[in-house]
Structure 1
Amino acid sequence: MISTAAPPLARRISALARTLTIGVRVCPDGRARLTPRGELVHGCADTLTATLARLPSGTGRVELDMAEVTFMDSAGLEFLDVLDAFGRTTPARVTATGWTGQPRRVLELAGLDTADPLSHPAAPPPADAPAKPAPHGPAPHAPTPLALAPSAVAVERTERLLELEQEVEQLRHALDSRPVIDQARGILMAAHACSPRQAWDILREASQRSNTKLRTVAAAVTAGAQPDGPAPAEEIRTALRTAVELTVGTGPAGPAAG
C-alpha cells in the first residue's frame, strides 16, 4: 500500500516541494513497517495521517524507517507530532529510526533524539518510593510532546526563498519601468545636450533629492514634454533643476527643469 501526496510548499514556491511517498508492509505479527521516501515539507503530515488511517485496526506496532528521507524542514516536526498523537491515542507502539544526513541534523537542532525522536525514557522513581503493582492490559503510552521551534535549516531556506521572490519582483518592476525611463532620458538629452549617462544621473539625483521614486520622476518629465502636458510637481521641478546644474551645468531650459 502506497500513500502519495504532493501539496505545494507555500504559495509561489510549490515547485520546490518533492512528492512524499510512504511504503507500507503489514507483518503477520501485527507490526506495520512504514518507509517514507522524499522530503518532509509542507503537507507531509497529511500524507502520514492518511497512511495511518489505512492501517489494520489490530496493528500493535508501527515502525518507520526514515533512511530514505532526504530533506526535512520544520514541517517534519508536524510529521512527528502526528506519529506521537497516533501512539498516544491507539495501543500501537510507534518508533521512527534510521535518520541520516540533513534530517538527522534538523533533529539535533530541534533538541530531539536522533536515534528515535519519539523515545522519551521515563525517569527512574526515587529510591524510597513504594513499588506500584503492574497495570493490567497494555501499558499506556506516555505523552511525548515535541518542540515546534523552527530549525535553522528551515529558517535559512525560507529566507533564501523570500530573497529570490524579492529579486524577481524587483526585476519585474524594472522591466515595467524601463520604457518611461528611457523616454525621460531621451527628453533630457535633447533638452540639455547631455549624454545618456548624464541623463540617467539627472533622473537619479532628482529622485534622491525629491525623495520620489525614479519611475515617478521619469513619468513627470515625460508628461511635461507633451503638448499642454502638466508641469512636474514643485518638489520634482526643483530637484530636476538642481540635478541638471550639478550634472551638466547651466544649459538650455527644457521641460525637465521647467
Structure 2
Amino acid sequence: MTSSVSGHGPDAPARIDDLVHEVRQLRAEKEQLYQAVTSHAAVDQAIGVLLLIGNITPEDGFTVLREVSQRTNTKLSGIAEQIVKHAQGAALPDIVLTELRAALARRG
C-alpha cells in the first residue's frame, strides 16, 4: 500500500502520464479563458466607442460589431480591437471603415 501512495508501484508511470496530461489540459484551458476575458474586454470597450460615435444603444453597438465582423470576414474580437485602437488615433482599414459607416447608418 505504501508503494502506491508514494508513486513507486507498478501503476506509477501511468499516474504520472495522467497527471502530466491533466496539467497540460489545465494550462490550455487557462489560456483559452484568458483569451476569452481579453476578447470580452475589447468587445465591451469597442461597444463603448460605438455608443459615443454612433449615438446608439449597447445592443445596437454589439450588432454593429457583429455585422462589420461578418462583412469583412474578420473575428469579432479583431474588429473590436481595431475600433478601440481607432478611438486612440489609429487608422481603420478602408473596408472596416466602409462597413462600420454602413452598419452605423443602418442604426441611425
Query: Taking structure 1 as the reference length, what is the TM-score of the superposition?
Result: 0.33
RMSD between aligned alpha carbons? 2.9
- CA 1:12–1:204: 2 relative to 1, 3 Å: farther
Query: Partners of 1:241 and 1:190 in 2: how far apart?
Result: 14
User: Which residue identity does 1:8 align to in structure 2?
Assistant: D
Residue in structure 2 matched with residue 232 of structure 1 by the alignment: 92
1:100-153 Cα shifts (integer Å, max 9, x gaps): xxxxxxxxxxxxxxxxxxxxxxxxxxxxxxxxxxxxxxxxxxxxxxxxxxxxxx
Query: Taking structure 2 as the reference length, what is the TM-score of the superposition?
Result: 0.72
1:159-211 Cα shifts (integer Å, max 9, x gaps): xx8xx987765433110122222221111001111111110111111011101
Gaps of 5+ in 1: 16-160, 250-258
User: Which residue identity does 1:193 align to in structure 2?
Assistant: N
Task: Select the structure of larger CA radius of gyration.
Answer: 1
Structure 2 residue 84 is matched with structure 1 residue 222? yes
Structure 2 residue 53 is matched with structure 1 residue 196? no
More helix by share: 2
- CA 1:206–1:10: 2 relative to 1, 3 Å: farther
Identity of aligned residues (%): 35
More strand by share: 1
- CA 1:165–1:218: 2 relative to 1, 3 Å: same
Gaps of 5+ in 2: none
For the residue of structure 2 that corresponds to 1:9, the secondary structure is helix
